[in-house]
């Protein structure tokens, strides 16, 4: 039994898709979230800069005596986790392995698609994780660099021709591959799931990397006896590096809940 909080960080808002699922599964757990909104997005930056920012994010969460850390940012999980994980004294979970295992279990034709930021795709982390599970699976990746700005600007409708045109351009290699299972390898992408599903067509299963990772972490903490025995709902705290008000206003689209009053602005770096 352990009543310390679970720490979660992301470059911005996207990691809230993991928080939402985690809070559903483990309502009694305390969660400390950090969104580096003053430096979002990470996905277009160099690996060196991503490592620097991720290290600062992790140190901040560790200062809150967390019992486990979720790196709810696919860019960091795929580009920097190998470097920062050994520096962290609590169990660390990225958002690459759990959805890779889920996709490998779900695919029927052995063809998996992965979509993410430029940095995530450049890293090859998903293809490597899937190959470790089953080398016979084939993986087709596509970078979708405009998806995060579209989500951050609330432009997500499947009826929006700008969204579907951009999605079609990005997803064509995945469609051509015949993949029957596609990993949303960026925690922002679930908000575009309708448009992505429309463009990919029927019969394709989408895997939400943030939600699947939350499920994986809940199971691991339970089996390691690291869950709290608290009877009351766990406290949620949100820290950001830009305006707390702006974050609270935007977060409601991800969490479908009002978190104003629980967000605090801090400085990193």
Residue numbers annotated as active site: 73, 186
Window 67 to 106, contacts with a copy of itself (CB under 8 A): none
By CB under 8 A, is residue 264 in contact with a copy of itself? no
Q: Is 161 left (phi over 0), alpha (psi -120 to 50) or beta?
A: alpha
Which of the stretches 34-42, 134-142, 179-187, 207-215 binds a copy of itself when contact is defined by CB under 8 A? 34-42
C-alpha span between 239 and 33 (Å, rounded):
6
Residue 150 CB, shortest distance to a copy of itself, in Å, is: 7
CA angle, 196 then 131 then 222, to 5°: 80
By CB under 8 A, is residue 242 in contact with a copy of itself? yes
C-alpha span between 81 and 151 (Å, rounded):
25
Q: Name the H helices within 155-192.
A: 161-177
By CB under 8 A, is residue 159 in contact with a copy of itself? no
Q: Which long-range contacts (CB under 8 A, 24 or more apart) does 102-105 make?
A: 102/207, 102/212, 103/130, 103/181, 103/182, 103/183, 103/207, 104/130, 104/133, 104/134, 104/137
By CB under 8 A, is residue 4 in contact with a copy of itself? no
Binding residue for a copy of itself, selected from 49, 138, 177, 262, defined by CB under 8 A: 49
Evaluate whether 44 touches 86 at the Cβ level (below 8 Å). no
Q: What is the DSSP letter of 177?
A: H
- Decide whether 134 or 242 has the Cβ nearer to a copy of itself: 242
Q: Tokens at residue 3, please?
A: 């009543």
User: What letters, b where the CB count within 10 A reaches 16 and e where it falls short, cover 217-235?
Assistant: bbeebeeeebbbeeeeebe
Residue 243 CB, shortest distance to a copy of itself, in Å, is: 4
- Decide whether 124 or 145 has the Cβ nearer to a copy of itself: 145
- Decide whether 37 or 75 has the Cβ nearer to a copy of itself: 37
Which of the stretches 16-24, 33-41, 108-116, 132-140 binds a copy of itself when contact is defined by CB under 8 A? 33-41
By CB under 8 A, is residue 38 in contact with a copy of itself? yes
Residue 215 CB, shortest distance to a copy of itself, in Å, is: 31
Window 243 to 262, contacts with a copy of itself (CB under 8 A): 243, 246
Binding residue for a copy of itself, selected from 6, 166, 192, 221, defined by CB under 8 A: 166
Provide the 3-class DSSP secondary structure of residue 76.
helix
Evaluate whether 136 touches 110 at the Cβ level (below 8 Å). yes
Binding residue for a copy of itself, selected from 63, 157, 165, 172, defined by CB under 8 A: 165
Residue 145 CB, shortest distance to a copy of itself, in Å, is: 5
By CB under 8 A, is residue 152 in contact with a copy of itself? yes
C-alpha span between 35 and 218 (Å, rounded):
21
Residues near a copy of itself (CB under 8 A) are: 37-39, 44-46, 48-49, 145-146, 149-150, 152-153, 155, 160-163, 165-166, 169, 241-243, 246, 269
């Amino acid at each position: 039994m352990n009543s310390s909080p679970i720490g979660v960080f992301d470059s911005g808002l996207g990691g809230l898709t993991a928080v939402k699922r985690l809070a559903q599964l483990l309502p009694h757990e305390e969660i400390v979230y950090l969104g580096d909104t003053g430096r979002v997005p990470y996905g277009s930056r160099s690996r060196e800069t991503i490592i620097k920012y991720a290290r600062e994010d992790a140190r901040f969460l560790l200062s809150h005596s967390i019992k486990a850390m979720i790196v709810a940012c696919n860019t960091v999980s795929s580009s920097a986790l190998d470097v920062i994980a050994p520096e962290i004294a609590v169990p660390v979970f990225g958002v690459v392995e759990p959805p890779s295992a889920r996709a490998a279990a779900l695919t029927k034709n052995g063809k998996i698609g992965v979509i993410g930021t430029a940095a995530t795709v450049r890293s090859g982390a998903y293809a490597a994780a899937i190959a470790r599970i089953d080398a016979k699976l084939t993986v087709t990746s596509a970078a979708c660099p405009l998806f995060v700005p579209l989500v951050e600007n609330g432009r997500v409708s499947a009826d929006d021709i700008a969204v579907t045109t951009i999605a079609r351009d990005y997803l064509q290699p995945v469609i051509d591959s015949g993949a029957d299972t596609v990993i949303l390898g960026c925690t922002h992408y679930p908000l575009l799931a309708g448009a992505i599903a429309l463009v990919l067509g029927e019969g394709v299963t989408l895997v939400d990397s943030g939600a699947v990772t939350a499920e994986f972490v809940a199971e691991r903490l339970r089996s390691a006896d690291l869950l709290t025995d608290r009877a009351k709902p766990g406290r949620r705290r949100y820290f950001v590096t830009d305006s707390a008000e702006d974050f609270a206003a935007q977060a409601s689209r991800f969490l479908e809940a009002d978190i104003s009053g629980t967000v605090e602005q801090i400085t990193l770096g």
